[in-house]
Each structure stands twice: as structure tokens, then as C-alpha cells.
């Protein structure tokens, strides 16, 4: 290339410099202004969730809970030293068998002083059986079915052999709190429960719908004294009032046939429902059993078979109560009339017939709620139920929060609205408060209701409508809107930039060539 005059040369290099500056400015502006602009218009709002807090709580909550259940011993003056020896005996035995419960669950033996209410506190009384009066007498215990009091009957031989604390330990750890220890230990170890237990229990809710349904296979008028029978059921509901609430409805359903026909057995002269056919017995599609409500529903069905009109019984094989339990759903009882039905008379099911049915349903209700079978005292059972439900609720709500955080972390496109964050915080607050009530006051009722709140809030956080709705907003849409602008502009600027780079390389090469030729 021939070199032009020096004046034009310097002018040209000046122009080239300006051009290059312009390209650079445009490029920088495009990147520094355009990129943030695109990002800010396309990113979804993601509230900051307390990730750290949730994960630590979820991993460590079992270490932060301390159950210390006070048990009051009614012992005469001068025997105070017995309490400490009994306490150490209980602790030693319990933690040897269940080391995982150490620090998590324990009994706090105290001396009964002042007025304590049997209805509210665990009280142990001792009764010394006079061996002389009764030769056969041996040590015994009696857990009151109406309160939280237990009476131990001690024989003099037991006292003399210094085995009172051992006896006390057995009663406390096996008879009164045995089931609780077992269940809590399973929960702490996260061991699989005995299969039946977990499948049967309905998820906890602060309120349940309970529906009693009388099903009859035809359109013949039938009456039942359910109003009175419900009154029999009330004590059971009343006992559970600290645990949960119930709204009760009853109904009669006519023309309700089971989904499979019941086979007649000539040997027994009765209709037999085999255990295998129980799973298909309930006609979910046809019988009006659906309750349109958010709250879970517990259904209790009384099935009045048509065979009653012929005086033939309908029997569930291998069931002494002629009833069966449907896991997480309710209970069913097949009702056979003892007396043949007179022609043209209205069938009515009396209160005394409903009484045993209500007893079956009560025990089924306890089973469905997950209450332990022993001890018989409903107060203690409800206590145990609330403590276990508390641990379960806390575990579940933390699990939900953990899943929520996992979800938001794994899906970068999903929006996290402010309401979700609020619910997460509310849930965490409730959890912390319930911990405080448990650890400082051993107030199981309040801790329970707070844990239920925590569960509710965690569910609300997880199922926040806005979050779920925008989960499937595809990024292709954003691209479709911006590509027509970004494509051409970007390519022009990019090509301009490329040209500048090539020019500079060429210039350098030319300069090198020129040097060589010179």
C-alpha cells in the first residue's frame, strides 16, 4: 500500500480513533445498561426465605425439645429420700433401654405437696396392703379411668425387700407411659412404625368433621335414636377437647347397596362378609359420603342389611364386634336386629342398641386419632396423644418448610411471593413459641395448639397460590418478546465490534510489514 501524505494520515487515524471509541461506547452501554434492563424486566420476585434457620431447626429440633413430665408421689413425711432413689432408678432404667430419649423425654418425680388436682396432674398414691388380713394379697396397681391418679398397692414383703422403687419404675415406664415411650422412641429414631399404626391414623387437624351415617338397602322407613346416642358419645369428644374439636353431623341414606353382593352361607344360615371383600364393601361412588369441606372427615357407618327383614344375620367373618375400621377414613358396623321385624311396622333402632355401637365407634375414633391402647384412662391417653401429635406436627411442619426451601432452590424460575415468606416466619414463630411453652412450663396443651398453627402456616406457605401458578412460566416466552430487538441490534453491534478488531489486527500486521520493508 502506498503511504499517503502525513496530514491526511494523522486526520484519518484521528477519525478511526473516534469510530473505535463510538463502537466501544455503544458496546459498553449495551452491556451495562441493556443486560440489567433485560434481567430486571424478566426476573420473578423471590423473597428471601430464612433458609439457614429452617435447616438448623429441622436438623436439631429433637435436641431442643425437653419433656419433663412431673409425677407427684404421695408419700408420708420422713421418706423424702425415697424420691431421689426412685428418680435415679427410673432414669437409669429408661436411658439404658432407650438412650435416644436422653434429654428428650423424662419423668420428674416430686413429692405431693399442697393441693393438686387429680384431673390435671399425675399423682401416685401408695396403699399398704395388710398381709395379715389377706393371705393371698400381692402387690397391685390401679390406674383410675377418670383422672390421672394411680394407686399402688404395696405388700410389706415388697417394702422389706426394698423393691418399691423397682415396682414404681415398672408401673410408670411400662404401664402408664409405656406406649408413649415406644412411639416417641420410634419418632426420634425415625424408625418405621408398626405398619398398622401409621396407616390408620388420620393426619392431625385442629378440627374434624364427624359424620354418622345409617345406611339401609331399601326405601322402608327407618328411625334411629341418634340424638340420644350422640349424647353418649359426647364424653369421648369432651375428653379430646384439648386435643381437637369436632363438628358432628348424622344422616340416613336409603337405597344404599354395598358395591359387591354379600354371599349367603347355608351352613351358618347367614350372610357372610369375608375379610377379603371388606375393602370393596363401601360403595364410595354411590353412597353420599363426601363432605365438601377443607377439614378432614371421620365417617362412621351403621349398615342395616336388608336381610334383617327376613330375620337372617349378616356377619363379618372373624370379627367379634361385627365391625371394621377403614384406615384414615372411619369405621363401619353391620347392624343385625336381635328381634325379627314385624310386618308393616317401622323399624327403629333404639338407644340401647346404639350404645354398644357407639362404644365400638369410640374405640375406633381413638384408633383413628392415633391414641395408645393403654392405659385405659382417657385423660392419660389424651395427654399422650397431644405429646405425640405435638412432636409429629413440629416434625411435619419443619419437613414442609424444608421441602419448600428445597423447591425454591431447585427451581430458579419459580417466584417466591412475600406472603410465602410471611407464612414461613409465622410458622417458625409458632414453632419457637411452642418450644418455649414445652421447655419452660411443660404446658402440653398450648404447645400442641401452637404446633397445629405451625403446621397450618407451613402448609399455607407451601401451597401459596401465586407461587404454584407461576411455576410453569417458561423462559422461552421472555426470549420470544425480547429476541426481535436483541437479535438485530446485537448482531449489528457485534459485527461492528468484530470489524474493529480485524482492522486493528490488519493494521498491526501492516505496521510490521512496513517496518520490515523499511
Partner 1 sequence: MISWLKLLFLVAVVAASERYYNETLSLKPLPNNNLLASFQFHIESQPIDLEYYDDHNKTGTAKHYSYFPRSLGPILEATNTRELHLRFTQGWWDSGSWGLLPQQGLQSGGTGVEMWAVVEAPDSHTAKQNWFKLSKTLSGFFCASLNFIDDSITAFPRYAASHPKGVVLNPSNHVYLIRASLPSEPICTENLTPFLKLLPTRGKAGISSLLDGHKVFDSLWHGMSIDITTECVSAQCHYQMEQSVNAIVDITRSIRKKQEGGLPKPTPGDKLRCDDSKTFNIWQCFPLDEPTNVTWSLDTIYGRKLKGPAFIDDPESTAIKIDIDSNHWDVDMKLDKDDALLSWRVSGYEKDQITEYIKEEGDHDIEFITDDSTFTAPVEQPPLYASRSLTGYSLDKGGFRTVLTNPSESESVEFIYFETLPWFMRLYLNTLTMKVQNSTGTYEVEDESVYVKNRYFQPAIDRKRPSHLEFVMTIPPQLTLFFTYQFDKSLLLYHEYPPDANHGFAVEPAIITVLDKSNHGVYEVRTTSVLLTLPTPDFSMPYNVIILTCTVMSLAFGCIFNLLTKKVITENELEKLSEQSKLAKIVSGLRAKVQRLKSLVRR
Site of interaction with partner 1 (CB under 8 A): 15, 19, 22-23, 26, 207, 209, 211, 213, 218-221, 226-227, 230, 245, 247-255, 286, 288, 290-293, 346, 480-481, 484-485, 487-489, 492-493, 496, 499-500
Q: Is 70 helix (H, G, I), strand (E, B) or coil?
A: strand
Nearest distance in Å: CB 19, partner 1? 5
Residue closer to partner 1 (CB basis): 142 or 255:
255
Instruction: Look at residues 9, 28, 6 and name the one whose alpha carbon lies nearest to residue 17.
Output: 9
Nearest distance in Å: CB 274, partner 1? 26
Nearest distance in Å: CB 415, partner 1? 18
Residue closer to partner 1 (CB basis): 129 or 450:
450
The residue with cell 396397681 is: 141
Dihedral pair phi/psi, residue 9, rounded to 5°:
-60, -50
Residue closer to partner 1 (CB basis): 258 or 372:
258
Nearest distance in Å: CB 23, partner 1? 5
Nearest distance in Å: CB 219, partner 1? 5
H-run or E-run covering 504: helix 475-517
List all residues 6 or more positions away from 485 whose beta carbon is below 8 Å from its beta carbon: none
Residue closer to partner 1 (CB basis): 227 or 518:
227
Is the torsion defined by CA of 158, 98, 444, 196 positive or negative? Answer: negative
Nearest distance in Å: CB 8, partner 1? 13
Residue closer to partner 1 (CB basis): 63 or 292:
292
Dihedral pair phi/psi, residue 222, rounded to 5°:
-140, 145
Residue closer to partner 1 (CB basis): 228 or 406:
228
The C-alpha atoms of residue 111 and residue 123 are separated, in whole angstroms, by 9
Please say whether the beta carbons of 142 and 150 come within 8 A: yes
Please say whether the beta carbons of 361 and 300 come within 8 A: yes
Q: Is 118 exposed, middle or buried, given 0-12, 13-18 or 19+ CB atoms closer than 10 A?
A: middle
Nearest distance in Å: CB 407, partner 1? 27
Residue closer to partner 1 (CB basis): 178 or 496:
496
* Orientation angle between helical segments 418-436 and 378-410, nearest 10 degrees: 150
Nearest distance in Å: CB 268, partner 1? 29
Nearest distance in Å: CB 188, partner 1? 33
Show the cell assigned to 390.
405435638
Nearest distance in Å: CB 366, partner 1? 19
CA 153 to chain CA mean position, Å: 40
The C-alpha atoms of residue 239 and residue 218 are separated, in whole angstroms, by 37
Q: Is 191 helix (H, G, I), strand (E, B) or coil?
A: coil
Please say whether the beta carbons of 385 and 370 come within 8 A: yes
Nearest distance in Å: CB 346, partner 1? 7
List all residues 6 or more positions away from 75 whose beta carbon is below 8 Å from its beta carbon: 82, 83, 111, 112, 126
Residue closer to partner 1 (CB basis): 42 or 291:
291
Residue closer to partner 1 (CB basis): 299 or 364:
299
Residue closer to partner 1 (CB basis): 188 or 252:
252
Query: What is the chain's alpha carbon radius of gyration, rounded to the nearest angstrom?
Result: 38
Residue closer to partner 1 (CB basis): 270 or 291:
291
C-beta atoms surrounding 98 within 10 Å? 18
Please say whether the beta carbons of 214 and 252 come within 8 A: yes
The C-alpha atoms of residue 401 and residue 455 are separated, in whole angstroms, by 9
The residue with cell 405425640 is: 388
Amino acid at each position: 500500500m502506498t503511504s499517503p501524505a502525513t496530514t491526511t494520515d494523522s486526520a484519518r487515524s484521528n477519525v478511526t480513533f473516534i469510530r473505535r471509541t463510538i463502537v466501544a461506547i455503544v458496546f459498553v452501554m449495551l452491556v451495562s445498561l441493556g443486560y440489567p434492563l433485560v434481567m430486571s424486566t424478566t426476573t420473578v420476585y423471590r423473597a428471601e426465605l430464612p433458609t439457614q434457620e429452617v435447616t438448623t431447626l429441622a436438623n436439631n429440633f429433637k435436641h431442643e425439645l425437653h419433656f419433663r413430665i412431673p409425677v407427684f408421689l404421695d408419700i408420708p413425711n420422713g421418706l423424702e429420700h425415697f424420691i431421689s432413689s426412685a428418680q435415679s432408678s427410673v432414669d437409669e432404667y429408661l436411658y439404658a433401654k432407650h438412650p435416644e430419649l436422653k434429654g428428650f423425654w423424662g419423668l420428674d418425680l416430686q413429692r405431693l405437696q399442697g393441693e393438686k388436682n387429680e384431673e390435671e396432674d399425675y399423682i401416685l398414691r401408695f396403699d399398704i396392703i395388710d398381709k395379715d388380713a389377706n393371705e393371698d394379697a400381692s402387690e397391685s396397681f390401679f390406674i383410675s379411668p377418670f383422672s390421672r391418679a394411680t394407686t399402688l398397692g404395696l405388700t410389706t414383703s415388697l417394702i422389706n425387700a426394698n423393691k418399691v422403687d423397682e415396682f414404681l419404675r415398672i408401673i410408670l415406664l411400662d404401664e402408664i407411659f409405656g406406649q408413649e415411650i415406644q412411639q416417641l422412641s420410634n419418632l426420634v429414631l425415625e424408625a418405621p412404625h408398626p405398619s398398622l399404626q401409621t396407616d390408620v391414623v388420620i393426619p392431625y387437624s385442629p378440627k374434624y368433621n364427624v359424620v354418622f351415617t345409617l345406611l339401609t338397602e331399601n326405601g322402608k322407613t327407618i328411625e334411629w335414636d341418634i340424638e340420644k346416642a350422640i349424647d353418649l358419645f359426647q364424653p369421648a369428644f369432651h375428653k379430646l377437647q384439648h386435643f381437637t374439636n369436632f363438628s358432628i353431623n348424622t344422616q340416613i341414606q336409603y337405597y344404599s347397596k354395598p358395591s359387591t353382593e354379600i354371599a349367603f352361607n347355608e351352613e351358618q344360615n347367614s350372610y357372610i362378609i369375608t375379610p377379603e371383600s371388606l375393602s370393596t364393601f363401601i360403595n364410595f361412588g354411590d353412597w353420599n359420603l363426601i363432605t365438601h369441606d377443607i377439614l378432614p372427615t371421620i365417617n362412621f357407618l351403621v349398615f342395616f342389611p336388608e336381610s334383617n327383614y327376613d330375620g337372617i344375620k349378616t356377619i363379618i367373618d372373624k370379627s367379634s364386634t361385627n365391625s371394621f375400621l377403614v384406615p384414615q377414613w372411619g369405621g363401619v358396623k353391620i347392624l343385625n336386629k336381635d328381634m325379627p321385624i314385624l310386618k308393616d311396622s317401622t323399624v327403629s333402632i333404639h338407644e340401647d342398641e346404639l350404645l354398644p355401637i357407639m362404644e365400638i365407634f369410640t374405640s375406633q375414633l381413638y384408633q383413628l386419632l392415633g391414641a395408645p391402647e393403654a392405659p385405659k384412662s382417657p385423660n392419660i391417653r389424651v395427654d399422650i396423644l397431644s405429646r405425640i401429635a405435638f412432636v409429629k406436627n413440629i416434625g411435619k411442619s419443619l419437613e414442609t418448610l424444608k421441602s419448600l426451601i428445597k423447591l425454591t432452590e431447585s427451581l430458579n424460575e419459580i417466584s417466591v411471593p412475600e406472603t410465602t415468606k410471611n407464612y414461613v416466619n409465622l410458622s417458625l414463630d409458632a414453632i419457637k413459641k411452642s418450644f418455649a411453652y414445652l421447655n419452660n412450663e411443660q404446658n402440653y396443651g398450648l404447645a400442641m395448639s401452637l404446633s397445629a398453627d405451625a403446621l397450618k402456616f407451613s402448609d399455607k406457605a407451601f401451597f401459596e397460590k401465586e407461587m404454584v401458578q407461576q411455576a410453569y412460566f417458561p423462559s422461552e416466552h421472555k426470549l420470544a418478546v425480547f429476541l426481535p430487538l436483541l437479535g438485530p441490534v446485537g448482531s449489528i453491534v457485534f459485527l461492528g465490534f468484530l470489524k474493529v478488531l480485524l482492522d486493528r489486527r490488519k493494521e498491526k500486521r501492516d505496521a510490521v510489514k512496513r517496518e520490515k520493508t523499511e
